[in-house]
A and B are shown apart, each in its own frame.
Chain A
Amino acid sequence: MKTGRISMDEFLSEREQVLKSWPTGEGLSLEKGLEYQGTIPVEKNFAHWMKKAIDEKKTLLQPRAGVALVDEHIKLLQYLETEGQADLLPTTIDAYTRQNRYEEAQTGIAKSIAAKTSLLNGFPAVNHGLEECRRVTESVKSPIQVRHGTPDARLLAEITLAGGFTSFEGGGISYNIPYAKKVSLETSMAHWRWVDRLIGFYEDHGIHINREPFGPLTGTLVPPFVALTVAVIEGIAALTQGVKSITLGYGQGGNLVQDVAAMYALRELADEYFKREGFNDYELSTVFHQWMGGFPEDEAKAFSVITWGATVGRFAKATKIIVKTPHEAMGIPTKEANAQGLLASRQAINMLSEQVLPVGPTFRREIDLIKAEVNCIMDKIYELGLGDAQEGSIAAIKAGVLDVPFAPASVNHGKLLPMRDDEGYIRIYNWGKIPMAEEIKAFHAQRLNDRAKSEGRTVCFQMVTDDIYAISKGKLVGRPR
C-alpha cells in the first residue's frame, strides 16, 4: 500500500500526546496558530520570498544563527538583518532540543543566564515556548526559518509555527541518518509525516509555510547522487502530506562543474519524480549550502571558501544560499563574523547577477551521470517498496542500497566510500551495497585511477582522509605531502 496522507483523526490523536511532552505544549491551539499566522504580512512569509526569488531569478542569502536566551537571540537576528543584510533569517535550534532533551536545555538556559553568555549552540524554542517565539518573529522584518537536526520535531514544529516562523527545515531521513545514533527510520519518518501534515494543515487553510529537507547530510564528501536521492524522497514525503512550497538542497562539493551539474540535476529530477507521483501543484525552489566540511582556521582563507561557495551557488542558479562564517573552524561564530560571511557572499553574488555560466558538454556529461546514478537507486527503491518510494527508502537504507558516507546512525551501512578524482570531483572508491550500473562504476574507477597515477600511489583509504582535511589545509584535493 502506498504511504498516504495522515487522516485528521490520526493527526489529532497523535497531537494530544505530542503536546504533553513538555509543559510549553499544553494548551496550544491549531486555530489560534492559524489565526496568528493569518496576521503576518506576506512580506514576512518565507514561502512568498522563495516564490518571488524564483520569479525574479534572484539568489537570496541566509545565515545560520541561534543562542540560548531570547533577548540575545533577538539582538543577533536584528544585527544579521541590518548589518549583515540577510534576506532570510534563521533560528538554529540547540543540540539538546534536537534530541528532545528539554531538561538539559533548561539547565543550559540557567547556566547561560549565570555565565552571561550562551552556553547552548542554538535557541531552545520549545523551552521558551509560544509567546517568546512570537516575540522573536515580531522583532525583525524578514521571514525566519527553523533550522535544526531533530529526528522528532513534532512539538518544535507546533510551537514555532504557531509562534510565527514560516519555514521549517528537516526530514525523516536527513534529520535522522546524520543527526542520530539509534532512532529507527520507521519512527523518524512517521514523526516527519506528522510535521509535514501539520504544515499541510496550515496550507489547507491558506497559510503558506515553506519546507526544506536538509540537503548536505553529513557534509563530508557526500556524492551528489546520495544527496539528491534523499532530497527527492523527502520532497515526495512532504508533498504527500500537503506541503506546497518545497526547497530542495545540496551542499557544495568543491568542483565547479559537479556542483552546478548537481543543482541542475536536482531541479530536473525533482520535477520528474514529483510528476511521476502525480504532484503538479507545488513551488520548487533550491538551496545551495556553502562548503559544509572542515574550514581553514585562518579567516582570510575562510573568506575565500565562503565567496567561492557564493560564486558557485549563483552560477548554479540556487534560489538561496546558506552562508558560512570566517569562524567556522572554531565553532559558533560571533554576530560580527556571521555578518562578514553574509557581506562577502553578497559582494560575490552581486557581481555575478548579470552573468550566466554557459553549461556545455562537460556540464551535461555530469548532469546526465548524476541523473543516471539517482535513477539507478530510485528504481531499486521503488522495487523494494512495491511502488512506494517512502517505504522503499527505509528498506533501501537498511539494505545499503542507499548509503550516506560518515553518518552516525547505526541503521546506515556506512560502506560507501567517496574520494576526489584528479580534478576534484567526488567519485566512489567503494560502492558498498549500492546497485550501480557497471558502466557508471567503471567511469568512477577510471577517474580515480587517473588520480592515483598522477600522485604515484595506489587508490587507498589514506586518500579519503587526505580529502576530508584538504580544504582546511588549503587545497581541494588531498595530495600526498
Chain B
Amino acid sequence: MGNINIVLGVIGFDCHSVGNKILEHFFTEKGYSVHNLGVMVSQEEFINAAIETAAPIIMVSSLYGHGEIDCAGLREKCIEKGLEDILLYVGGNLVVGKTPLEQVESKFRKMGYDRVFGPDADLEAVDSILRVDLKEKGFSL
C-alpha cells in the first residue's frame, strides 16, 4: 500500500499538533505514504500537496472551533484545480461549541466533504471506511 498517498494536515490557524502526529503514525503503520503538512495549513497548501503526490485523499483536521470558516470552499477549489474525484475527509472539533455529530456531519457534507468524524473517532474504523472508499474509486488494496 506504499503507493497510496494521503495528504494530512490541520487547517487554518489551528496549531493543535498532538492528534496530527498520532494520525501520521497510525496511517504510516497501516502502510500508506503519509504526506503530513503539520499544523496551520492553508487550503492551497493542501491542494498543491495533493497535486504533487497524486494523492486520492486529503485528510483535514480542525480542533479549535474555526473549522466552519476554514473548511468552506475547499471542495470548490479542488474542482477548480482538476481534483474532481479526490476524497475529502474532515475530523475533529469542527464547530464552536457542543453540537450533535449528525448536525456537524450534514453541515460538512453539504460543504463537499465525503466523510466527517468527531474528535474521538476510532482510527481502525476510519481505516476500514477509507479502504471501502478507495476501492470504490478503483484502487486495488
Contact = CB atoms under 8 A, between A and B. Distances in A.
Contact of B21 (A96, A406, A410): A406
B97 A408 contact: no
Given A120-B96, A331-B96, A333-B97, A181 B68 contact: no
A94 B97 CA distance: 14
B120 A98 contact: no
Dominant SS among interface residues on chain A = loop
B43 interface: no
Contacts, number: 92
A108 B66 contact: yes
B17 A107 contact: no
Given A119-B66, A119-B69, A121-B65, A333 B15 contact: no
Contacts of A98: 13
B40 A330 contact: no
A151 to B, nearest CB: 10
Contact of B65 (A181, A332, A334): A332
A433 B64 CA distance: 31
Interface string B73-111: 000000000000000000001011111000000000000
Interface residues on A, range: 35 or more
B13 A334 contact: no
Contacts of A101: 13
A95 B96 CA distance: 12
Nearest to B65: A121
A297 interface: yes
Dominant SS among interface residues on chain B = loop
A408 B15 contact: yes
A331 B65 CA distance: 7
Interface residues of B, number: 29
A472 interface: yes
A341 to B, nearest CB: 13
A95 B66 CA distance: 8
Interface string A315-349: 00000000000010111111001000000000000
Given A180-B40, A294-B119, A333-B98, 7 more contacts: A108-B66, A149-B15, A332-B96, A407-B17, A408-B38, A461-B25, A465-B26
30 contacts: A94-B66, A95-B15, A95-B66, A96-B13, A99-B40, A108-B69, A111-B69, A119-B66, A119-B96, A121-B65, A121-B66, A121-B96, A180-B40, A181-B15, A218-B18, A220-B18, A294-B119, A297-B120, A329-B120, A330-B93, A330-B99, A331-B96, A331-B97, A332-B97, A334-B97, A406-B21, A407-B17, A408-B20, A465-B22, A468-B18
Interface of A: 94-96, 98-99, 101, 104, 107-108, 111, 117-121, 149, 178-181, 218, 220, 294, 297, 327, 329-334, 337, 406-408, 410, 461, 465, 468, 472
